[in-house]
Structure 1
Amino acid sequence: MASIPYKCTLSPEMQKRAEKELGENHLMRKLAFNTLYKYMEEKPRIKFCRDENFLIRFLRAKKFEVDRAFKALKKYYELHLKVPEFFNDYNPRGIKHVLDDGYPYVLTDTDMEGRKVVAMRAGHWDPSKYPMLDICKALFMVIDQLVEDEETQINGVSSSLI
C-alpha cells in the first residue's frame, strides 16, 4: 500500500521548536516513517492509515520514540475496535446538540504555553438531554480535529473542567 508523503506546514519558528523539543528534523522524520512502515508490515491484520500527515501526530506525541509512537498508534486502532459506538456515525451533525451546548468546547485563546484548551462544563450537563456516549463522541471528535493542526501537535492540548 502506498503512503501519502508528509507536507510540512510549520512556520520556521515552529520547526525550530519541534527540533529543540521533539528532536524532529527531515532526517528523523524519514527514518521514523520508515520504521513505522516496517512495524505496520508486521501487523498485517490491522489496516493502518499510511498518510504521513496522520502518522506524524503519533511520532510527535511520543517525541519521535518510534516504539512508543507505534504502541500509541496500535492503541488508537484497538480503541476504535473495542468501543466502536464512540466512533460509529462519527459526524458533527449526529452530535450537533452536544457541541451547541458546549460539551466540549475549545477556547479561542491558547494557554500560556501555546496549547489549545478544551473545556467541559460538567456541572451544566443534563443527562436527560443527551447521553454520556454523545459527550464522548463529541470529545473524541474535537480532539481528533485539534490534533490535525501541526502547531497543536507540537504545543499540545490542555483541558479544563468548569
Structure 2
Amino acid sequence: MLKLSIRTLNPQLQQAAIKELHEVPERLTADIAALRIWIQQQPHLRAREDDQFLLAFLRGCKFSLEKAKHKIDRFYTLRTKYPEFFSVTNVHDHKLRELINSGIIVYLPTPLNEVGPRIAFIRSGCYPADKFTMQDIAHVMEGIQDILLLEDDYALIFGIVSVIDVKKASTAHLMQMTPAGLKKMIVFSEEALPLRAKAAHFTNTPSSFETFFNLLKPMFSKKHQQRLSVHGNKLDSLYEHIPLKYLPKEYGGENGSIEEGIAELNKKLDDYRDFFKANAQYGTDEKLRPGKPIDFDNLFGMEGSFRKLEVD
C-alpha cells in the first residue's frame, strides 16, 4: 500500500480529528484514494489530487465522501466562473500585496484556548475605498485560505473564529459590500470552502454599521446567523468569547502583532509562488459536465432573493 504524503498530527489534534470529524486514521489511504478516483472520472473537472489537499476537503466535510465531492466541485466551479474573486495565480500582483501590507487580515499564531480554532483578525477599512474593490478583498482572502488548506491543521480541524474590527470602516467602505458580491463570497464560503467558520465577532462598529449588518445577516443560513456577534465598543463582551491574551499586541493582547502577521503572509506568498501559478490549470468546463449544467441563477438567487444554505 502506498504511503500517504501528509503531515502527522500531534496527539491532541489527532484525538480531536477522531472525535469531532469522525476521522479513522487506518482508513485515510482508502478515503483519499476514493476521492481521487472520483475526480479522475469527472470529465468536466480539473482538480489538484495531492494527498494533503484532498485530506483537507475530507476533514472539512467530516469525512462524508459525498459532501467532499460536492465541495471540490463547487470549489473549482466558482473559481472558474469568478476568477477575479476566488482564484489567485500571481502572488506578485500589486493589489494583492498592497492589501496584505495594509494589514487587512492576519492569522494569529496561537489558536484560541491553545488547542482550538485559528483566529483570523480582520481590519475593515484599513485601505483606500476608492482604490480597491470588493473583489480585490475577496481575492486576498481566498489566496490566504488556499495556504490554510495546505498547512493549518488547527483551522481544518477546529475551524476559524474571526474578529472583525470595523473602526476604520467608512460609509464608502461599507457601500462596497454589494449584495451581489456578498452572495458570491457567502456561497463560496459555505458551499465550496472546507474551512468551517465557527464564529465572527464584529467590534468597534460605527452607527452606520447597523444597515450593513442587517443586509448581511439574512444571507447566511440560520445556523451561521447564530455565529455572528456585534459587540460595538463593548470589548468586555468580546473578551467573553476571545480572552484578551489571544488578540494581537496592538490591541493589548499577547498573540503576535499585526506587523509580524503581515511579514509572515508575505513570506508564505513567496514560498507558494509556484503553487499559485499552477492554479491557472485547474477548474471546470461546464460543456463537459455530466447531466445538467450548474444553474447559477438558482445558486445565487434571482431579483435579489437568496437561497438559504444549511451547512455545518
In structure 1, the gaps of 5 or more residues are none
- Name the CA shift for 1:41/1:129 in 2 (closer, same or farther; >3 Å): closer
- Name the CA shift for 1:27/1:9 in 2 (closer, same or farther; >3 Å): closer
Matched, 1:138 2:137: no
Measured in 2, the distance between the counterparts of 1:14 and 1:64 equals 16
Q: What is the aligned partner in structure 2 of residue 150 from structure 1?
A: 153
Measured in 1, the distance between the counterparts of 2:127 and 2:73 equals 32
My pick for the range that moved more, 132-141 or 121-130, is 121-130
1:20-59 maps to which residues of 2 (within 5 A)? Answer: 20-59=19-58
Structure 1 position 92, deviation (Å): 5.1
Structure 1 position 103, deviation (Å): 1.6
My pick for the range that moved more, 51-60 or 5-14, is 5-14
1:73-92 maps to which residues of 2 (within 5 A)? Answer: 73-86=72-85, 87-91=87-91
Q: SS state of the match for residue 97, structure 1?
A: helix
Contact 1:6 1:52 in 2 (8 A): yes
Q: What is the aligned partner in structure 1 of residue 126 from structure 2?
A: 124
Q: What is the aligned partner in structure 2 of residue 160 from structure 1?
A: 163
TM-score (norm 2): 0.47
Q: What is the aligned partner in structure 2 of residue 98 from structure 1?
A: 99
Structure 1 position 38, deviation (Å): 3.3
Structure 1 position 127, deviation (Å): 1.3
Identity %: 26
Larger radius of gyration between Structure 1 and Structure 2: 2
Q: SS state of the match for residue 147, structure 1?
A: helix
**Partner AA of 2:122 in structure 1:** M
- Name the CA shift for 1:157/1:124 in 2 (closer, same or farther; >3 Å): same
Measured in 2, the distance between the counterparts of 1:17 and 1:61 equals 13
In structure 2, the gaps of 5 or more residues are 166-312
Contact 1:90 1:141 in 2 (8 A): no
Shift >4 Å, 4+ stretches: none
Measured in 1, the distance between the counterparts of 2:93 and 2:84 equals 16
Q: What is the aligned partner in structure 2 of residue 107 from structure 1?
A: 108
Q: SS state of the match for residue 55, structure 1?
A: helix
Structure 1 position 153, deviation (Å): 1.3
Q: SS state of the match for residue 130, structure 1?
A: coil
Measured in 1, the distance between the counterparts of 2:5 and 2:70 equals 20
**Partner AA of 2:97 in structure 1:** K
Q: What is the aligned partner in structure 1 of residue 266 from structure 2?
A: none
Measured in 1, the distance between the counterparts of 2:120 and 2:69 equals 26
**Partner AA of 1:145 in structure 2:** I
Contact 2:53 2:149 in 1 (8 A): no
Contact 1:58 1:69 in 2 (8 A): yes
**Partner AA of 1:160 in structure 2:** V
Measured in 2, the distance between the counterparts of 1:69 and 1:42 equals 15
Q: SS state of the match for residue 45, structure 2?
A: coil
My pick for the range that moved more, 94-103 or 59-68, is 94-103
- Count of equivalent residues: 160
- Name the CA shift for 1:38/1:139 in 2 (closer, same or farther; >3 Å): same
Contact 1:119 1:160 in 2 (8 A): yes
Measured in 1, the distance between the counterparts of 2:83 and 2:39 equals 22
Measured in 2, the distance between the counterparts of 1:127 and 1:141 equals 20
Structure 1 position 4, deviation (Å): 9.1
- Name the CA shift for 1:8/1:110 in 2 (closer, same or farther; >3 Å): closer
